[in-house]
Amino acid sequence: MSIAIDIDSVVKRYGSFTALHGVSFQVHEGEFFGLLGPNGAGKTTLISTIAGLVRASSGTVRVMGHDVVADYRAARASLGVVPQEIVFDPFFTVRETLRITSGYYGIRRNDDWIDEVLAGLDLESKADENMRALSGGMKRRVLVAQALVHRPPVIVLDEPTAGVDVELRQTLWQFVRRLNESGHTIVLTTHYLEEAQEFCGRIAMLNQGRLVALDATRELLRAFSAGRLVLRISGAPLPASLEPLVIEAPGRDRIALRVDRYDAVEPMLAMLREAGCRIEEMELLHADLEEVFVSIMRESRA
């Protein structure tokens, strides 16, 4: 499988402070890849290094095989970045902004693709409006359009839905998903972990400048967090053999038990029956990425 982004032993120091400690991983072409971490974990520094805005103290980064320092023109042409901060020029309309951005990449007569991007992001009705007249959510859509205007094979989305309402968020994700299905590599950073869980096939997690997890999303969910069997019982107390599995007991008759494997559920139910417990209600809940994230961050600080 071809490599879209190759990050090899990247260290970044700011004086005596080290923001990245030898980070290494690869993103494959066509992946929808998540880069997660708490504030101050080093995500923005790493993205800025990939984009060529920050130079690593040591190590190398390649985008589509192009070194971001030695072959920066080709590397930047291969990459589109949607920044976290909303930055815009207040003197131009949306269409003029996209034409100017096209010019930065030496692209002329790009209106057909600009029209397609505007349609995909539901910006057609705003095409001739001045940027300063747009809402925050619409400005963020324009940032996405600017990142796509030169048709880069790799797209980095840094908190793309921050401050965006539900309708705009759904439109954005529909368009991004279509881009990924058409072959674009997507790298996503977000604090909305349900988005990462839904869209990302693999996830890397940073904490304090170090890579603390890297795996397929389903494997992270399986390895770092258990499911829950939530029960409401009557007739007898919970048997002592199940006490070590109690996660929480919000009520005297309602109990949540840790489930490490699905085949452990039937033996647990058998123990309840043998103890004389009647099961009034039962719900099996799956682990989510938020639980995994909290668990990994806690372990990485230990």
Q: What pLDDT band is residue 300 in, cutting at 50, 70 and 90? A: confident
Domain span(s) for CATH 3.40.50.300 in the chain:
1-78+152-163+179-221+288-302
Distance from CA of residue 190 to its chain's centroid? 5
Q: In what order do the strands lie in the sheet with 66-67?
A: 17-28, 3-14, 58-63, 66-67
Summarised one tens digit per residue, pLDDT across range 172-230 is 888 899 999 999 999 999 989 999 999 999 999 999 999 999 999 988 887 765 678 89
Q: Which among 82, 66, 77, 81 has a CA at the least distance from the CA of 5?
A: 66
Longest dimension (CA), the chain: 78
- Percent of the chain exceeding pLDDT 70 equals 97
CA atoms within 13 A on the CB side of 138: 16
Residue 242 has pLDDT above 90, yes or no: yes
Confidence at residue 22, expressed as pLDDT on a 0 to 100 scale: 96
Residue 301 predicted with pLDDT over 80:
no
* pLDDT surpasses 70 at 252: no
Q: So what's the architecture of 1-78+152-163+179-221+288-302 in CATH? A: 3-Layer(aba) Sandwich (3.40)
Q: Average pLDDT, stretch 148-176?
A: 86
Which is more confident, 7 or 141? 7
Give 98's pLDDT tier (boundaries 50, 70, 90).
very high
Residues of the chain with CATH 3.30.70: 226-286
* pLDDT value at residue 250: 62
Query: Mean pLDDT score of the chain, rounded to an integer?
Result: 90
Complete DSSP assignment for 66-107: EETTTTHHHHHHTEEEE-SS----TTSBHHHHHHHHHHHTT-
Q: What is the pLDDT of residues 102-132, one digit of tens each?
A: 999 889 889 999 999 999 888 999 999 999 9
Q: Give first-to-last CA distance, the chain, whole Å.
A: 36
Residue 302 clears pLDDT 70, i.e. is over it = no
CA–CA distance, 153 with 144 (Å, rounded to integer): 14
Q: Check residues 225 and 242 and name the one with the higher pLDDT.
A: 242
CA distances from 104 to 200, 241, 291 (A): 31, 68, 43
- Report domain 226-286's class: alpha beta
Q: What pLDDT, on the 0 to 100 scale, is given for residue 169?
A: 82
Cα 113 from chain centroid?
Answer: 26
Global pTM reads 0.81
Please give the helix or strand (H or E) that residue 295 lies within, else none: helix 289-301
Model pLDDT, residue 90: 86
